[in-house]
Amino acid sequence: GAQAVGMGKDAQSVQAGAELFLKANEILGYDLLDVCLNGPKEKLDSTVISQPAIYVTSLAAVEVLRARDGGQQIIDSVDVTCGLSLGEYTALAFAGAFSFEDGLKLVKLRGEAMQEASDAAKSAMVSVIGLDSEKVQMLCDAANEEVDEQNKVQIANFLCTGNYAVSGGVKGVEAVEAKAKSFKARMTVRLAVAGAFHTRFMEPAVSRLEAALALTNIKTPRIPVISNVDAQPHSDPDTIKKILARQVTSPVQWETTVKTLMSKGLKKSYELGPGKVIAGIVKRMNKGADIKNITA
């Protein structure tokens, strides 16, 4: 949900960044920059477009950083990378696991497959603000007692204490929203996504992703890329393919990822791409965290 109309504008003043959007047009078959700059918002919010848009804008942000004084040294000094959900593809491209083009082809297919899975069943996602993970699980259990199997919900994104995304059938999500106050949640925010990402609702997308990943040339990343599925880095290309296929139906272990980085001595980090959600999460987990945003 990091997409916003106007993204990609800064990258146009950097030749390498602008070129990524031109390359993207050839692969996607439409003018991605035009949708990024001018919307309409409903179009940009659709998963089929938002996923390529965030991927390309995030890698364009790397070029914005590279073009700055000392930017190349910063890029060379990065020794670990990770990304939330779709961002894992950006992180893998940054780490050299696959080319910009191959990554974009995967992201295009991922967006299409997830949209189709969303269209096949009425599902949604909601952020629950102000509770720890145990309380959110109890809230999900209470909501699940009131709905049928098709509408059950689960925690899909473990972001940080006080911010967890719940995914599932629309009726289940509505039950979560109705009960949240009685569980002392501060608020709930319905997410601008097509459906219940990171749950069994995305199962139809898995086989299509597996087929595309099987045909993709994936190399050992030059630096560790931490996976959303198990909060561990993986260097074996076949393992990376398996993990990426599983990622769409598995909860995002972002809280564990950030805690692991901090426990291993993370000193400084950069959030590259649209929005400032990651920086917000990192600062909530460590008020003194040194994290800079580079947008494009």
What is the domain partition of the chain in residue ranges? 10-118+201-294, 122-195
What's the pLDDT score for residue 1?
Answer: 77
Is-cis flag, bond preceding 40, omega within 30?
Answer: yes
* Catalytic machinery residues: 85, 198
CATH number for 122-195 (one of 2.60.40.420, 3.30.70.250, 2.30.30.40, 3.30.365.10): it is: 3.30.70.250
Same fold, 10-118+201-294 and 122-195: no
Residue 262: pLDDT over 90? yes
What's the pLDDT score for residue 193?
Answer: 85
- d(Cα 83, Cα 106) in Å, to the nearest integer? 16
The DSSP output letter for 235 is: -
**Alpha helix positions (H), 46-99:** 47-66, 71-77, 87-94
Q: pLDDT band for 192, please (50, 70, 90 cuts).
A: confident
What's the pLDDT score for residue 95?
Answer: 98
Enter the CATH code of domain 10-118+201-294: 3.40.366.10
pLDDT, average across residues 171-190: 97
Residue 270: pLDDT over 90? yes
pLDDT, average across residues 100-113: 98
